Amino acid sequence: MIKTKNAKIIITVFSLICILLPVKAPCSVECIDAEGEAPIMNNDVSAAKMEAVARAKWAAIGQTIGMEIKVKTVVQNNALIDEVVIKKINGVVAGFKVLREENKKDTYLVKSNVCIESANAKEAALSLALNNRIGVFIIVKKQSPVDTYEETNVLSEKLTGKLIEHGYSVIDAVPAQVPGTQGIEDAIQSGNYTSLRAIMYRYLSNVLVVGKADYTVATGKGDNIGYNISMPFQHVVTRLTYRIFTRDSSGKIVVLSAGVEQGKGLANDLDEAVQRGLEDLAEKIGPKIADKLNEYIKGIAKKVSVKIVGLADMSENFAVKETLQNIAWVTKVQEKGLGEFLVDYQENPVYLANSMSLKKEFRIEEFSPYSITVKYVK
């Protein structure tokens, strides 16, 4: 982190504002160097520079909150950078200074020093969070030699695979990148979900599956099971206690669902029996969690008004409707007239607009969370 003289002045002024004005939370400003690069389209250097500056600011925001997934990976070509990102930058960037800029013929590069107001940065990042990106944090309690937690385990891996099969983008939120195991468990027990919110910030996710699994030996190998018959296998019972968390409209963490599930495992070796018990648990819990997530996403689906400018006739209208229906997470498209549609969309509407902008026949004219205006290009 490099703090320039100007950056120090900005921090001083901003700190005075924080002291003099009533605020809900302490103000915190961090100044860091960040780069942004954007393609030069149709020789429009000024537009490329503006986009590169915006990307530099977003890069600084990402560094400030430790965001794992870069914005450019979720908004593939940043077609909506002006409509979404720049609006969210307001109130987040306390100071900005260009250190170096370069026209690289095909792209424009901007290196800058950006001062970020960290509290607002987190909320700005979550404006791009995905409903179908699921964070999974499952720990397994081991009973020997002492109580310890296994953070990388077959249950977490199998559950992740099951959710991916159902079409979700899944992040295995291992403790190496988030607050530790004990911190997560304490958060669940106390109801203080600050550490869980940190996972959402890092991975731009709106949903977290958090759970703790343990096991008991139901019958040990060699135990008498009656009639002088010895148990030929280790028999364990596995148990998962889990919760699914999401955010409400105000950003508060809420419990979407909670439950307990059991599995069992048989094997010659205790460790192998535990592994089989965890696999059995994943087979049982995977579909249940996927169903809960599906219900939730259906429940928050938004109706987005889409206006297509430049359609000549109903045949083009029909072709556009078919294109809209084939976009991922679109569940229903209603025709309201020539060039007018009502789209049921289960994701963040910015991704509907972005998916449309990737179609060669569409050019985004205006965007809001509830309406999109598009120019039809033949």
Query: Same domain for 114 and 137?
Result: no
Q: Note the pTM of the prediction, 2 decimals.
A: 0.76
Residue 163 is part of a domain; what is its CATH number?
3.40.50
Euclidean distance between the first and the last CA atom of the chain, given in angstroms as a whole number: 49
Query: Same domain for 288 and 325?
Result: no
Query: Same domain for 158 and 77?
Result: no
Q: Indicate the number of domains in the chain.
A: 3
Query: Same domain for 326 and 255?
Result: no
Query: Same domain for 100 and 150?
Result: no
Tell me 42's DSSP state: T
Query: Same domain for 182 and 282?
Result: yes
Taking the CB of residue 277, how many other CB atoms lie within 10 A of it?
Answer: 28
Query: Same domain for 210 and 198?
Result: yes
Query: Same domain for 203 and 119?
Result: no
Structure confidence at residue 340 (pLDDT): 96
Query: Same domain for 142 and 263?
Result: yes
Burial of 269 from C-beta contacts in 10 A (0-12 / 13-18 / 19+): exposed
CA distances from 92 to 6, 23, 68, 115, 326 (A): 17, 15, 19, 8, 36
Structure confidence at residue 69 (pLDDT): 75
Structure confidence at residue 376 (pLDDT): 94
Structure confidence at residue 317 (pLDDT): 95
Query: Same domain for 324 and 284?
Result: no
Nearest to 158 by CA among 136, 183, 175: 136
Q: Find all residues with CB under 8 Å of 236, minimum gap 6, and list them.
A: 215, 216, 217, 218, 264, 265, 270, 273, 274, 277
For the sheet with 29-39, list strands across it. 29-39, 107-117, 93-103
Structure confidence at residue 7 (pLDDT): 43
Query: Same domain for 141 and 281?
Result: yes
| Domain end call among 299, 324, 359 | 299
| Domain end call among 76, 101, 126 | 126
**DSSP per position, 79-123:** TTIIIIIHHHHTTTEEEEEEEEEEE-SSEEEEEEEEEEEHHHHHH
User: Could you read off the pLDDT tens digit of each residue along the chain, which spans 378 residues?
Assistant: 444 444 444 333 433 334 334 344 445 788 999 998 888 988 899 988 988 888 888 888 888 888 877 766 665 545 555 556 667 776 788 889 999 999 998 999 999 999 998 778 877 777 788 888 898 888 888 766 556 667 678 898 999 999 999 889 898 776 544 455 566 666 666 666 777 777 788 888 899 998 889 888 887 776 666 666 666 788 889 999 999 999 887 778 888 999 999 999 988 888 899 999 999 999 999 999 999 999 999 888 899 999 999 999 999 999 999 999 999 899 999 999 999 999 999 998 888 988 898 888 998 888 888 999 999 998
| Domain end call among 80, 107, 126 | 126
* Encoded tokens for 193: 């979900």
Query: Which range marks the domain in which residue 69 is found?
Result: 5-126
The 10 Å CB-count burial string (b at 16+, else e) for 89-101 is beebbbbbeeeee
Query: Same domain for 140 and 286?
Result: yes
CA distances from 324 to 44, 79, 80, 95, 300 (A): 30, 18, 18, 40, 19
d(CA 316, CA 338): 9
